[in-house]
Amino acid sequence: MSDVYLDICIAVPPEPSVRELLAFQLHALGFSGFLEEEATLHCFRPEEGWNDAARSDLERLLAQHLPPFILTEIRRVENENWNKLWEESIVPVEVGDNFVVAPSWRPVPSAEKKIVITIDPKMSFGTGYHESTRLMLRMMERHGRSRSPVLDFGTGTGVLAIAAAKLGSQRVIGIDNDEWSYLNAVENVGKNRCGGAVEIRFGSYEAVPESGFEMILANLTKNTLLEMIPTFSAKLATKGVLLCSGLLNDDRAAVEDALRISGCTPHSGCTENEWTGVAATKG
């Protein structure tokens, strides 16, 4: 893993929903941390792998937004320096009726009746700041109590796998094909003392030969969800629940159609700003 990162500065309007959408899109391009200023979003990624093709991919993404976002500066920074800035920007977040997601270095006020999930995010996606993560946690409050076994596909920081364990699931598998995410999730599982219930694996669906899951958590992009829904359905137990997020509101109809084709019945969901989540049951 590289010790040198790029701080790519992009001029972005200060609206939270706009910045969260861009951060979600950039994560798919290999960016792993973000720091906000009034007129700028600092976007961090390893210097390794940054080339003309990667820059072209970024510029095409920025041009898709109207008005286009402008890349203003690229700086080289040591991993330790940018990570310190990122850590200082993370504060506790209350989600739904039950959860507080907080880093280990921040005190959590008034948490007596809350389920506290300790997440030190480092470079992984999934802190409770993005709508897609919050939507998953809210759906888990309704559909995820005490279900076992559970698969969290694309676990990121491990926040959803840890939440499942804290809601009573005794067997949870979290998997991610990004090395930073895998290592971060393992660390966060330890911080939450969930190692007896949660196993984190490195890889993709090939690393999960098991089936018969009572619940599958899939906070992914639309295209990845559409590709994976048949696999998820095959791995679900009858009456098992699939929770999907990472979707814009306009994506919901296509995902629900794919769920029905694969034998899952969409029956509920929730929205926040332009993001949506869908819950479906197999059979």
| 116-133 pLDDT, tens digit each | 999 887 655 556 667 889
Residues 84 and 129 occupy one common structural domain: no
**Domain termination residue (choose one: 47, 64, 88):** 88
Give the CATH number of the domain where residue 242 resides: 3.40.50.150
Query: Torsion-angle region of residue 189: left (phi > 0), alpha (psi -120 to 50) or beta?
Result: alpha
- Residue ranges making up the domain that contains 13: 4-88
Of 275, 271, 277, 276, whose CA–CA distance to 23 is shortest? 275
Is 137 a domain residue? yes
Q: Give, as one character, the DSSP assignment of residue 68.
A: P
- Give Cβ neighbours of residue 186 (< 8 Å, ≥ 6 apart): 158, 200
Q: Using a cut of 0.85, tell me whether the model's pTM lies above it.
A: no
Q: With 70 as the cut, is the pLDDT of residue 145 above it?
A: yes
Question: What are the structure tokens assigned to 222, written together?
Answer: 């639309």
The stretch 46-61 carries a mean pLDDT of: 94
Residues 152 and 268 occupy one common structural domain: yes
Residues 26 and 128 occupy one common structural domain: no
CB atoms within 10 A of CB 27: 21
Q: How many domains does the chain have?
A: 2
The phi, psi pair for 182, rounded to 5°, reads -55, -50
The phi, psi pair for 156, rounded to 5°, reads 60, -120
